[in-house]
Amino acid sequence: MLNFEDDINQEQLDAINEPNSVFLVACPGSGKTRTLTYKIAKELELHTQRNKWVVAITYTHSAADEIKERIEDLGVDTKRLWIGTIHAFCMEWIIRPYAGYHEDLKYGYQIINSHDSEEILTEFCRNYNYPSVTYYDCSYHFIPTGIQLSCTANKHVNVGHIIQDYHIRLKENFQIDFEQILFFSYQLVTQHPSISKTLSKLFTHILVDEYQDTKEIQYRIISLILRAGNDHVKAFIVGDPNQAIYTSLGGYAITIAELRSLTDITIVEKMLTRNYRSSSRVIEFFSHYRVFDSPIIAVGDNQHFPSEVYYTQSTELADLAVTIGNYVKYFHSECGISTNEICIVAPWWVHLASMTRTLTTLFPEYKFNGPGLTPFSRDIDNFWYKVAKLILTDPSPQLYVRRSRWANEIIDDLHSCNISTDLSSRHMLKTINLIKKTLIEKDGLNYLRLFFDVLFTSFKINYSLNLMLNEHHNAFFASSMTRIGKITAENASYDGSIETFKKVFSPKTGITVSTIHGVKGTEFDAVIGYGLLDGFVPHFSEPSTDSAKKLIYVLSSRAKKHLCLISELSRIDKYTKKSRPSTLVLKSHKFNYNKGNI
């Protein structure tokens, strides 16, 4: 019998043992993932109905992997657990079984990958030749009533024409993109209530992680299933409304009142208020930026740590890299912090690639893990990306369970493509390991191309005869070549060897360089943030005080011991031709910062 009471606090235990559905507001560092893991494990251990499932919906595939591995490490059987992203959920439980009921799906469909989507939208942008409209303006998502564009209001009409033609092109080619997966799923469960009723009889629990990043249409899909279950399907909804930084992508932090109204079930609100990560001083700082007034209490080993919190508005843009590097040297040499525990953060990716290169040149004694060097797109739904991940990850006892799961996903995809095979995950892993010993090729992309051919020849599978596998194969290599071209244009010293490719999936060492969105869910002893300027924080497309507060809250709450924030001078706005001012909510915060320049 699972015994976890000694591993969790009373707040976590109360949430796990609550017999009704739970809406759990969890502050940073409060053990949210641990609580979710033990809740799933407990329900699986109590599970007695062979035809029912516990469903857990995570924001990323990696989060799903981590939670499932934690449950398996507890010795709990996961056969009746389904865990994955909302897109994977909709495909598995709604689109594939019920596509025949939807006008745009019933004659067949192919999920378009992000590379092909970008190519089509880029083509339409070029053909229309609208002033200042590019592919990057064409981000959109669905709400229950239709399409919501992410671009600025003055571009809505032009971008709307492009998206309309884009959808016509997809329909003509029997294709759907990731956003349509959600919208078509919503239409199916709305127009055919029997689907929700059927699913409600298959699930005992639906658990949702990071609810604050969930889109309205996702809430609607899940709520229809919960409502159909009439309190027999229990919900466990976890997140932090103060970290809702994906509003431009449609994410928003639903209130418990809204959720009760949508589901019409009994939901109990609970909180995790005990922060085990940060010092009291760091918590005092980032608590100022809460938009949802939930308590945060320092209780961990760092509770009484004498943290240093800096904020400078006097650094010139030309001196920014040197200033950041000096903070790195100070935290590492004077404070004794490991480089693996230092993180450099900025609002946008565009600010990071050149900064990483400059820091590497100025401070060669340190290793900086920055963006822009991944030689192929992280298209996690591309079949060959999954195969590449398995190939490029070295076997080890610690990774055996994870690599076995990846192999099974590949085998499931083959079955979905109507390829009959009796492959087992064990046989696939063994074959990959044997090919690794014999294949000699130094160029990373050529290595993968050869490896794919040898591997599937050994399986007696001609992937070129299968439409989906062939399209995914072409997209994987086309997007990779495009990406490598961009990297080499910016970084003449880029090394495209197989060793560089392997680093994509190897554990990262050195100083992390990332965006605010990219560090969400992580933690470091020291965090250095820069680019904290109006138009970046908050982003010009959503210039609200709350948006700025949430970005600073997420950035600052990553820090366990030390925090440094920089609003640099002389970064020119290309439209106004003026220097961008400091982020107002940060500038106006009267905090007892540490004095002096490092």
Average pLDDT, the chain: 92
Lowest-confidence region among 409-418, 533-542, 549-558, 573-582: 533-542
Looking at the structure, tell me whether residues 84 and 233 fall in a common domain: yes
Quote the pLDDT of residue 48: 77
Looking at the structure, tell me whether residues 417 and 549 fall in a common domain: no
Please give, one letter per residue, the 3-state secondary structure of 479-514: HHHHHHHHHHHHCCCCCCEHHHHHCCCCCCCCEEEE
* pLDDT above 90 for 289: yes
Quote the pLDDT of residue 128: 87
* pLDDT above 90 for 120: yes
Residue indicated by tokens 């490991």: 338
Calculate the dihedral angle through the C-alpha atoms of 512, 137, 248, 161, rounding to the nearest 10 degrees. Answer: -160
CA 90 to chain centre: 17
Looking at the structure, tell me whether residues 581 and 493 fall in a common domain: no
Tokens of 368: 């900086």
Q: Is residue 522 part of a domain?
A: yes
Q: Is residue 219 part of a domain?
A: yes
Quote the pLDDT of residue 1: 64
Quote the pLDDT of residue 454: 96
* pLDDT above 90 for 227: yes
Residue indicated by tokens 């995790």: 272
What is the per-residue pLDDT across 146-203, written as a single tens digit (0 to 9) for each?
999 988 888 999 999 999 999 999 999 999 999 999 999 999 999 999 999 999 999 9
Q: Is residue 323 part of a domain?
A: yes
The single-letter DSSP state of residue 348 is -
Non-local CB neighbours of 62 within 8 Å, separated by 6+ positions: none
Looking at the structure, tell me whether residues 486 and 530 fall in a common domain: no
* pLDDT above 70 for 567: yes
CATH of the domain at 90: 3.40.50.300
Quote the pLDDT of residue 531: 97
Q: How far is CA 270 from CA 39, 95, 238, in A?
A: 14, 34, 10
Q: What is the C-alpha end-to-end distance of the chain, expressed in Å?
A: 54
Q: How confident is the model at residue 556 (pLDDT cuts 50, 70, 90)?
A: very high
Q: How far is CA 461 from CA 215, 354, 448, in A?
A: 39, 43, 17
Quote the pLDDT of residue 586: 97
Name the more confident of 504 and 470: 470
Distance CA 388, CA 477 (A): 11
Looking at the structure, tell me whether residues 461 and 513 fall in a common domain: no
Q: Is residue 290 part of a domain?
A: no
Distance CA 347, CA 529 (A): 9
Domain of residue 140, residue span: 110-173
CB–CB of 505/360 below 8 Å? no
Distance CA 291, CA 272 (A): 17
Kind of pairing, strands 146-149 and 140-143?
A: antiparallel
Q: Once rounded to an integer, what is the mean pLDDT over residues 79-106?
A: 95
Q: Is residue 560 part of a domain?
A: yes
What is the per-residue pLDDT across 328-366, written as a single tens digit (0 to 9) for each?
999 999 999 999 999 999 998 878 878 988 999 999 999
Q: Is residue 99 part of a domain?
A: no
**Number of folded domains in the chain?**
4
Looking at the structure, tell me whether residues 81 and 215 fall in a common domain: yes
Looking at the structure, tell me whether residues 149 and 47 fall in a common domain: no
Name the more confident of 494 and 158: 158
Q: Which of left, alpha, beta for 419 (phi over 0: left; psi -120 to 50: alpha)?
A: beta
* pLDDT above 60 for 372: no
Q: Is residue 300 part of a domain?
A: no
Instruction: Choose the final residue of a domain: 502, 535, 559.
Output: 502
pTM, two decimals, is 0.88
What is the per-residue pLDDT across 38-73, written as a single tens digit (0 to 9) for each?
999 999 998 877 889 999 999 888 888 889 989 988
For residue 290, give the nearest of 594, 589, 597 by alpha carbon.
589
Quote the pLDDT of residue 131: 80
Q: Once rounded to an integer, what is the mean pLDDT over residues 470-488?
A: 85
* pLDDT above 60 for 492: no
Looking at the structure, tell me whether residues 195 and 268 fall in a common domain: yes
Looking at the structure, tell me whether residues 395 and 472 fall in a common domain: yes
Name the more confident of 136 and 492: 136
Looking at the structure, tell me whether residues 490 and 444 fall in a common domain: yes
* pLDDT above 90 for 543: no
Quote the pLDDT of residue 490: 62
Q: Is residue 301 part of a domain?
A: no
Looking at the structure, tell me whether residues 454 and 421 fall in a common domain: yes
Quote the pLDDT of residue 542: 74
Looking at the structure, tell me whether residues 120 and 82 fall in a common domain: no
